């Protein structure tokens, strides 16, 4: 048995049933080996290697398992880099496999040779180059273990062609494969009891507590623990973009997304809290703005699996290194025990008992402002262009999300491209189930939505998958319509078509005196016709009244569908704060009342 077949068998042992890839000269032996295992593993032939990486991300985020992408050496492997970097920024577990020239040619600038070890070093948890076929099994076992455990992330494997063809001698046992050891890799998953006790004391004393939930809740499958914790103590929950869907957004305690493009009520609550429990969040600049003023009146309990993230951007009061699921369970138990002890103590005042967790006045204030925030309608700045059904004006983007909310089931999955459409979806979609929101956060990768939707559909074939995209972002991966057709992938792409590179245009309008440079994409593209040219369904929507039927027909269709929605060209997604701005100044004050435009 050669190295390529052992590699395929090792992936199967690791639980892989689907990979996403594109062949080339230096991976011919590997792709040949797939033919002998067709009943156990399949490769989805993409039309661009970057799409393979994003599809692997979509698969991983929808399933909670490791996603896998494969490409040949040189330009093929280089095309994986954007997806690898995206996975690194968003802590997504993928294993990327690239072919390499034969070992005797490495370093000689051979045809299609690239030093992928050097290229991927800054954007992976670890990378490997297999120089001998005897190391194939142990390398694959280590790669999958590293990718999924601790803080998830991408791992790259460089696989020279001669090693793929090389015969493998002695194999390791299944038990050795399952229990592979990685020297120096021992992530802390159980929180320190003393730190948990300190955090419990601080939470008990808090008058205005808030929970900020990040992607670590989803990565560690801690949504149930988060819900139990928040409900038991009545603490409002804000999320990051990566944390969206980790907490039921129809729940009364849900305040929505924080940050530069976040909901006003969420940012208001953060700025006025006295204790913030932060779980699985790295405090990116899009969340914090000016770190000199961000949460400087609050005490911060920061739970994260990666100790490097705690205190990196924001000074914290109590650091806790642990898996979010375990830490929440430990903290819940510690608070309950301390509360019971307080209640048995006669010397404690009734006033102190009343405020064991939070202050009723704080919760009432949050409810009031949440109601006001939900009543606000985020219309475009141009008077009259509000996308009213039957009017001549083009559709305002929020109308699309409102209609989508009406037809979605709780297990339906949303992917997005990057831009205004992403922010509209982030604001207004009401998601109830973890792993139903898949969007590019840290890297902000245009073109992410369509291939991620393909990966998500392969991971969860019974769920409806909707890709919310922009006309700019969609065109960066439009070739994957053939991947969809050839694999009969049933999903719906909803294009917010404003003929602009929308988010950049919004920045130029708000911050650059409307000096529009290179943001007009043109209005002549017929995405519905392009979809039909690929053998898929396509429909153009120009009136708000046409949205319900278009969405329902797409949901019920046996084919993938593109819905090309002509939206108001200069609609803005608001609120929006300048990068590095002062959140306390912008969001720290109370809202005036329902209907306020912000």
Catalytic residue among 125, 134, 142, 161: 161
Question: Whole-angstrom Cα distance, residue 57 to residue 573?
Answer: 27
Coil vs helix vs strand at 104: helix
Q: How far is CA 369 from the centre of its chain?
A: 28
Catalytic residue among 49, 137, 568, 570: 49
Q: How far is CA 459 from CA 64, 228, 413, 436, 521, in A?
A: 9, 28, 11, 12, 33
The C-alpha angle with vertex 594 and arms to 590 and 598, in degrees rounded to 5, equals 65
> What is the radius of gyration, based on Cα positions, of the chain?
25
Coil vs helix vs strand at 251: coil
Is 20 an annotated catalytic residue? no
Answer yes or no: are the C-beta atoms of 441 and 285 closer than 8 Å: no
Question: Whole-angstrom Cα distance, residue 276 to residue 548?
Answer: 40
Is 518 an annotated catalytic residue? no
Would you state the structure tokens that stand for residue 529, as one six-digit string? 């016709």
Is 49 an annotated catalytic residue? yes
Question: Could you tell me how many residues make up the chain?
Answer: 598
Question: Whole-angstrom Cα distance, residue 339 to residue 204?
Answer: 8
Question: Whole-angstrom Cα distance, residue 116 to residue 81?
Answer: 9
Catalytic residue among 111, 228, 382, 552: 111
Say how many CA atoms lie within 13 Å of 253 toward its Cβ. Answer: 20
Residues near 519 by Cβ (< 8 Å), separated by ≥ 6?
Answer: 500, 501, 504, 505, 508
Would you state the structure tokens that stand for residue 402, as one six-digit string? 């409102």
E strand residue ranges, 343-462: 413-416, 437-438
Coil vs helix vs strand at 334: helix
Is 503 an annotated catalytic residue? yes
Question: Whole-angstrom Cα distance, residue 255 to residue 367?
Answer: 9
Would you state the structure tokens that stand for residue 520, as one six-digit string? 């007009």
Sheet with 275-279, strands from edge to edge, namely 254-257, 237-239, 209-213, 275-279, 299-304, 318-321
Question: Whole-angstrom Cα distance, residue 574 to residue 512?
Answer: 17
Is 5 an annotated catalytic residue? no
Is the Cα dihedral 33, 34, 35, 40 positive or negative?
positive
Alpha helices in 441-590 (DSSP H): 449-459, 471-474, 481-486, 502-511, 527-533, 547-556, 583-587
Answer yes or no: are the C-beta atoms of 211 and 251 closer than 8 Å: no
Kind plus residue range of the DSSP H or E element containing 537: strand 537-541
Catalytic residue among 89, 116, 503, 576: 503
Question: β-pairing, 94-100 with 155-160?
Answer: parallel
Question: Whole-angstrom Cα distance, residue 598 to residue 588?
Answer: 14
Question: Whole-angstrom Cα distance, residue 242 to residue 248?
Answer: 14
Q: Which residue has the tokens 């969860």?
A: 460
Which positions are catalytic? 49, 111-112, 161, 503
């Amino acid at each position: 048995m050669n190295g390529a077949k052992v590699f395929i068998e090792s992936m199967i042992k690791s639980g892989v049933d689907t990979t996403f890839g594109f062949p080339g000269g230096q991976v011919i032996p590997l792709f040949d080996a797939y033919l002998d295992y067709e009943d156990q593993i399949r490769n989805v032939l993409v039309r661009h290697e970057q799409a393979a990486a994003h599809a692997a991300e979509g698969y991983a985020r929808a399933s909670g398992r490791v996603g896998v992408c494969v490409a040949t050496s040189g330009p093929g492997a280089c095309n994986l880099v954007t997806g690898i970097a995206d996975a690194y920024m968003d802590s997504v577990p993928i294993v990327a496999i690239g072919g390499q020239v034969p070992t005797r040619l490495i370093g000689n600038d051979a045809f299609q040779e690239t030093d992928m070890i050097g290229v991927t070093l800054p954007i992976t948890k670890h990378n490997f180059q297999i120089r001998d076929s005897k190391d194939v099994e142990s390398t694959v076992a280590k790669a999958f273990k590293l990718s999924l455990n601790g803080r998830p992330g991408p791992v790259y494997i460089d696989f020279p062609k001669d090693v793929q063809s090389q015969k493998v001698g002695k194999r390791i046992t299944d038990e050795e494969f399952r229990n592979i050891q990685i020297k120096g890799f021992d992530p802390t998953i159980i929180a320190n009891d003393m730190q948990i006790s300190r955090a419990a004391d601080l939470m008990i004393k808090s008058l205005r507590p808030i929970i900020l939930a990040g992607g670590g809740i989803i990565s560690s499958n801690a949504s149930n623990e988060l819900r139990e914790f928040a409900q038991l103590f009545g603490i409002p929950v804000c999320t990051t973009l990566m944390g969206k869907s980790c907490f039921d957004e129809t729940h009364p305690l849900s305040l929505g997304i924080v940050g530069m493009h976040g909901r006003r009520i969420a940012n208001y609550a953060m700025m006025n809290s006295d204790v913030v429990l932060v779980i699985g969040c790295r405090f990116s600049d899009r969340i914090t703005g000016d770190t000199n003023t961000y949460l400087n009146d609050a005490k911060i309990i920061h739970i994260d699996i990666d100790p490097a993230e705690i205190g990196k951007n924001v000074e914290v009061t109590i650091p806790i290194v642990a898996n979010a699921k375990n830490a929440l369970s430990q903290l819940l138990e510690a608070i309950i025990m301390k509360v019971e002890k307080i209640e048995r103590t006669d010397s404690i005042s009734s006033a102190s008992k009343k405020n064991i967790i939070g202050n009723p006045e704080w919760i009432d204030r949050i409810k009031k402002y949440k109601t006001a925030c939900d009543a606000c309608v985020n219309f475009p700045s141009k008077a009259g262009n509000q996308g009213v059904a039957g009017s001549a004006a083009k559709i305002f983007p929020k109308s699309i999300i409102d209609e989508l909310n009406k037809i979605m089931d709780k297990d339906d999955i949303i992917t997005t491209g990057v831009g205004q459409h992403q922010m509209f979806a982030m604001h207004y979609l009401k998601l109830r189930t973890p792993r139903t929101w898949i969007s590019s956060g840290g890297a902000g990768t245009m073109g992410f939505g369509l291939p991620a939707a393909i990966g998500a559909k392969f991971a969860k074939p019974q769920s409806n998958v909707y890709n919310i995209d922009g006309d700019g972002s969609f065109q960066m991966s439009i070739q994957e319509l053939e991947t969809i057709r050839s694999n009969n992938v049933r999903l719906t792409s909803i294009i917010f078509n404003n003929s602009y590179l929308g988010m950049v245009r919004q920045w130029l309008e708000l911050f650059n005196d409307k000096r529009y440079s290179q943001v007009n994409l043109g209005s002549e593209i017929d995405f519905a016709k392009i979809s039909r040219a690929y053998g898929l369904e396509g429909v153009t929507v120009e009136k708000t009244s046409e949205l319900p039927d278009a969405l329902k027909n797409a949901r019920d269709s046996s084919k993938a569908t593109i819905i090309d929605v002509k939206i108001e060209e200069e609609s803005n997604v608001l609120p929006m704060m300048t990068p590095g701005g002062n959140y306390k100044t912008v969001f720290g004050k109370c809202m005036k009342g329902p209907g306020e435009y912000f």
